[in-house]
Amino acid sequence: MIDIKKYEKLSALSLNPEEEEKISKDLEDIIGYFGTLKEVDTENVEPYVYTRGAKLFLRKDVKGKSLGKEALTKNRELFKGSFYRVKKIMGE
Amino acid sequence: MDLLNSSIKELTAHLKSGKVSVKEATEAALTRIEKTEPKIKAFIRLHKDEAIKRAEELDKKKEKRGALFGIPIAIKDNMNLKDTETTAGSKILQGYISPYNATVVEKLKNEGAVIIGKTNMDEFAMGSSTENSAFFNTHNPVNTEYVPGGSSGGSAAAVKSNEVIAALGSDTGGSIREPAAFCGVVGLKPTYGRVSRYGLIAFASSLDQIGPFAKNVEDSAIMLNVITGFDNHDETSVQKNKQDFTHLLGKEIKRKKIGIIKEVSNFDIQEEVEDSLQASIDVLKDMGAEVVEISLPHLKYALPTYYIVAPAEASANLSRFDGVRYGLVEEGKNLKETYEKTRTTGFGTEVKRRILIGTFTLSAGYYDAYYLKASRIRRLIEQDFEKAFEKIDALILPTTARTAFKLGEISNPLEMYMNDIFTIPVSLAGLPAISIPYGNDRKGLPIGMQIVGKWFKEDELLQIASALENGGKNEQL
């Protein structure tokens, strides 16, 4: 059995009991299905990390145009015009 | 004249001749949408006023008309369109206003496209039927009791029902090709890196790729011409010279080597789909192509590999949705509780399921057994294709093993995942592929044939697809 509560916590989710039961069962099935991968010999196989053709590049060290703070923060009302407002996190 | 029944090329000719204005074409699209939407429900949002305004501006423009001048186009709702809402089909992004245009949107606009609206999708592109949209279901225009496929089901349905001339979708494991097959339109997934992902809401970053839905192969090539190109906002976008993807269309395919995959017959395939595959092979042979059997020994491991890799990436990508900067917020008594409440309320079941799978396979103690193992098998799958492509120019296989299913018919997640068995291997290898309609089953539902090309050889892929689409009529004599 998967300790669903542990993964909920790591995912910042808290499922209701009904959803928890349903998803736990699905996860058992899906993770069980992954078992077939054990058959494959992957000794000395390089993991696929970088996709083909994509080369990491560096931009020229020149100042580009930015979207600007106003555009990027307009989805929330800011505190003192500069800060996102969150509940206090100290003292917990 | 039914303007919306036209291809890009045909409508361009009408607009060029002056017989039709951009405003008339735009209005025709909006009228059509008004009529069909109650049944199809392809759009999450229409931008009527903006579209009309844009059309009027374009009508005043005399010089330098772009490749998509005046063409009504729809966009999947996971691409940012400046100053409008973008939800990715999720409640968690309701109310989110895009601060900028995705690169593809910018490119469409530069070429004169008229963006009509944003289309419905499975939440965060996770699904194969568009039933995971947080808002409503989209119906297959061929038969409205059936799903349009997914996750780009809205875009496929909008093109099929002639609400727009073309549309953009995104494909992570089949999300363009599968709905294209289910609805009977052409859907193209370019090579990974060909099209910038800047402004596309990320699902699985090593797989996501934007591509077009169109009525024929030529229109797909025209759309691809517009949306490709290096973008320094996307570090995985590839630096390639600009090319014209229509340049091989209509050229004969004599002596082209087309591969068929030995292992495909191990899967349970609907009879009519098999017949359709055989018919398409016969047509290719008639046109002088050489059909060669190749082997992809790791094909059957592609689906479990994908369902480790994609949810792992998704679990990381979706961590940004925490209620702090945009979208939904559900206040808790402290910050942590706010995160949890926001995410628990905002995400649908499939998204939660995949976040949890991803968190599990990346967690201490399981990382090597699942994520790392899958990444190694992904390499083997890529190598299988690499070896096959030494002998062939393209591959052909069905896009899906079965035609569309009814709304509500599949509720088991694993069963739903099986819809993508033939598109996922291609995605894992980052290859370009196209789905073209090729016949119908006994119920009249479309069958899609998938052609897979070599990396960055979309021009040859489109050439073969176009030859097959025209069933030999296209051959140059």
pLDDT in tens, B252-309: 999 999 999 999 999 999 999 999 999 999 999 999 999 999 999 999 999 999 999 9
Tokens 């299905």 found at: A33
B contact residues 248-267, partner A, Cβ 8 Å cutoff: none
Helix (H, G, I), strand (E, B) or coil at B80: coil
ipTM of the complex: 0.94
CA separation for the pair B135, B132 (Å, rounded): 9
Nearest to B40 by CA among B171, B179, B219, B175: B179
Who has greater pLDDT, B239 or B173? B173
Question: Which of B86, B126, B326, B356 to probe the A interface (max A CBs under 10 A)?
Answer: B356
Interchain pair B301, A55: CB under 8 A? no
Nearest to B414 among A33, A36, A56 (CB): A33
Q: Alpha-carbon distance B106 to B118, whole Å?
A: 15
Cα(B52)–Cα(B30) distance, integer angstroms: 9
Q: What is the 3-state secondary structure (H, E, C) of B408-451?
A: CCCCCHHHHHHHHCCCHHHHHCCCCEEEEEEEECCCCCEEEEEE
Nearest to A92 among B325, B334, B356 (CB): B334
At B364, is the secondary structure helix, strand, or coil?
Answer: coil
Cross-chain residue pair B380–A86, CB shorter than 8 Å: no
pTM of the model: 0.96
Nearest to B433 by CA among B411, B460, B402: B460
Phi, psi values for residue A35, rounded to 5°: -55, -30
**Smallest CA–CA distance from B379 into chain A, residue:** A48
Task: Give the pair of three-digit tokens for residue B215.
Answer: 């009525």
Residues B363 and A7 sit within 8 Å (Cβ to Cβ): yes
Distance from CA of A57 to the nearest CA of B (A): 7
Where residue B332 falls among pLDDT bands split at 50, 70, 90?
very high
Minimal Cβ distance to A11: which of B332, B349, B359? B359
Mean residue pLDDT across chain B: 96
Q: What positions of B carry a catalytic annotation?
A: 76, 151, 175
Contact B100 A42 (CB under 8 A): no
Query: pLDDT value at position B345?
Result: 98
Residues from chain A that touch B333, judged by Cβ atoms under 8 A, are 87
The pLDDT score that the predictor gives to residue A91 is 66
Residue A19 burial class via C-beta count within 10 angstroms: exposed 0-12, middle 13-18, buried 19 and up: middle
Chain B residue numbers with beta carbons less than 8 Å from the beta carbon of A23 are: 349, 352-353, 356
CA distance B455 to B389: 10
Tell me which residue of A31, A61, A68, A67 sits closest to B369, measured CA to CA.
A31
**Using 50, 70 and 90 to split pLDDT, how confident is the model at B476?**
very low
- Nearest partner of B344 among A20, A14, A23, judged by Cα: A14
Distance CA B275, CA B442 (A): 12
Distance from the B137 Cα atom to the nearest Cα atom in chain A, whole angstroms:
21
Beta carbons of B151 and B178 less than 8 angstroms apart = no
CA distance B4 to B10: 10
DSSP-derived letter for residue B174 is S
Q: Is the peptide bond before B151 cis (omega within 30 degrees of 0)?
A: yes
How near does any CA of chain B get to the CA of A66, in Å? 11
Residue matched to tokens 């990491």? A56
B414 closest CB neighbour out of A29, A72, A84 = A29
Q: Which chain B residues contact residue A71 at CB under 8 A? A: 99-100
In angstroms, the Cα distances linking B136 to B108, B146, B218, B398, B399 are 27, 14, 32, 29, 25
CA B198 to the chain's CA centroid: 16
Q: Is the pLDDT of residue B472 over 60?
A: no
Per residue in B29-70, pLDDT (tens digit) is 999 999 999 999 999 999 999 999 999 999 998 778 999 999
Instruction: Judge contact between B226 and B108, C-beta under 8 A.
Output: yes
Contact B306, B427 (CB under 8 A): yes
Least confidently predicted of B78-82, B84-88, B226-230, B234-238: B234-238
B380 part of contact set with chain A, CB < 8 Å: yes
The whole-number mean pLDDT for each consecutive block of 10 residues of chain A, a chain of 92 residues, reads 94 96 96 96 93 74 88 88 84 60
Q: Do A13 and B322 touch (CB under 8 A)?
A: no
Question: Do the beta carbons of residue A26 and residue B353 sit within 8 Å?
Answer: yes
